[in-house]
Amino acid sequence: MRLRTLARSGLVALSSAAVLLAGATAQPASADPTLDDAKAKLKAIEQEQSEIGEQWAEVKLKLAQGRTKIDTLSTDVAAQQRKVDVLRKQAQQVAITRFQTRGVDITVQLITSPDPESFLADMSTMGKVDQNMNSLLQDYQAQQANLADLQRAARNQVTTIATEEKRLAALKSQVDEKIRAGQALVEQLTEAERRRLETDGAVSRDEARGALDDAAIDTGSANARALAAVKYAVSKVRTGRYVWGSEGPTTFDCSGLMVASYRSVGISLPHSSRAQFGVGRPISRDQLKPGDLLFFYNPVHHVGMYMGNGLFVHARNPRNGLEITRLTSYPAYQGARRVLG
């Protein structure tokens, strides 16, 4: 009886162990929670820094436009000042002439004049002084008011520039803070996790280098200058670095890489992904050709350049630098614009 009980107990124990073992082996291997958590946090940080960076680019554009306006206003103020000075001299001359001749009999002036013919000519002119004097003064006052308006506009523009420069510095500090936060997060990962993180969505460097020499580029249908812009961008993948606000020749941000690439073929683009979203004409995703600009997130704050066969080249962020990425792997696609062709 005791032997039977022991045997039964042993069988139950073995069965329980087998069930536990089977359950353990049947569970799927879960993804590394540390890496997944880091990816989620990094994604949030990089989107924030990209958005701040886009604001920074827009402020920088506004500053450039403001400084151009200051130059124009300065030229206008100088020209207006010359007009006012001329009118002032004319008014002064008229006033002096009237003062010098007041109370003197015209007959006496004619007799005593060393040049009577000239005097009579002057009298003809002076006869019109009274009717012209009011017109001259009105013109002078109007031009003086225009000068004051231009001077006020110039002062306001200087104040605006000073405010925007402070905002630019504040945005730069925010971007730098986000970059440091991302770097600190990456430093907590193991070497293997970092490698997996860095290759997430990107093609290999070898594949990137060969992309222009194989079927990845539809050279038959793409605009020749657009292809040249693509080649410029891809040529920077190996050695280029990501730096906020930079547009080459060795450092770039996302819109800066587009600026430099199209500048290499004689096309000027604004240094802002949102501003670039208004360049050229919209293109549907199924009609993409090499050289088309691709835009991401809403509101737009990232841009890349299509290469063909589902690949695009871009300055991704300070952590990843410049890379070639599969379009299907990159989030929040918003649309494309064709600059050439």
List 289, 301, 314, 338, catalytic entry: 314
CA distance 57 to 255: 9
User: Who's near 304: CB < 8 A, 6+ residues apart?
Assistant: 254, 293, 294, 296, 312, 313, 314, 325, 330
With tokens 């003809």, the residue in question is 124
CA distance 128 to 57: 60
Alpha helices in the chain (DSSP H): 2-26, 33-101, 106-112, 116-126, 129-187, 191-198, 205-210, 224-235, 254-263, 273-276
Phi, psi at residue 128, to the nearest 5°?
-95, -5
Q: Which burial class, exposed, middle or buried, applies to 339 when counting CB atoms under 10 A from its CB (0-12, 13-18, 19+)?
A: buried
Return the beta strands (E) in 243-320 as ranges: 251-252, 281-283, 293-296, 302-308, 311-317
List 175, 217, 254, 311, catalytic entry: 254
CA distance 329 to 209: 19
Specify whether 254 is catalytic.
Answer: yes
Helix or strand (DSSP H, E) at 336: strand 333-338
Specify whether 314 is catalytic.
Answer: yes
List 39, 302, 319, 338, catalytic entry: 302
Residue 23 CB coordination number (10 Å): 9
Q: Which residues are catalytic?
A: 254, 302, 314
